[in-house]
Amino acid sequence: MAKARSHCRRAWGLGTQMNKPIILCVDDEKSILESLKTQLKETFGSAYGYEMAEDARDALELIDELQETGAPLLLIVSDWLMPGMKGDEFLITIHQRFPQVVTVMLTGQADAAAIARATEEANLHRCLFKPWSEAELTEAIASGLAKFEQDKGDGAG
């Protein structure tokens, strides 16, 4: 599994940005990941490293690698409906391990209960519905990054 993920990271060209603060996107559709990466890079430039994972299991392994390198994980954008672990479960797991990480759920199919569960148990910052607008994504990420910095300043991170 690690070999497949490393290959995926090389394919995205992101493995060299490990010293930058990280924004992680998780979605099982490659076209969604490509769109997110393009929009984030156009908006936030080279200030952040952009990591991509195609499911929650790969994302968790990637996060463990980031922890080993000391690269700070700031924010995660995760799809809800993915094979294996659904996005709300993944974000709850993330919040339990890394409560300072800001979480955004991206979905076309999540039910109200899943959104409520993620809001309550994962401290969900925002839920965006597919198809999202670039303005919605930009605002969600910018306000999430501001929240991260505020929480860090308040001693929560």
DSSP H or E stretch at residue 24: strand 22-26
- When comparing pLDDT for 128 and 108, which is higher? 128
Which range marks the domain in which residue 27 is found? 2-153
- Percent above pLDDT 70 for the chain: 87
- The pLDDT assigned to 89 comes to 97
Q: Of the candidates 102, 83, 82, which has an alpha carbon nearest to the alpha carbon of residue 91?
A: 102
pLDDT of amino acid 111: 87
Cβ atoms < 10 Å from Cβ of 31: 8
Angle subtended at Cα 7 by Cα 45 and Cα 91, rounded to the nearest 5 degrees: 65
Q: Is the pLDDT of residue 1 over 80?
A: no
pLDDT above 70 (res 113): yes
pLDDT for 8 beyond 80:
no
Burial of 144 per CB tally in 10 Å (0-12, 13-18, 19+): buried
Write down how long the chain is: 157
Work out how many domains the chain is built from and give that number: 1
Give the domain CATH number at 38: 3.40.50.2300
Of residues 75 and 8, which shows the higher confidence score? 75
pLDDT higher than threshold 60 for residue 18: no
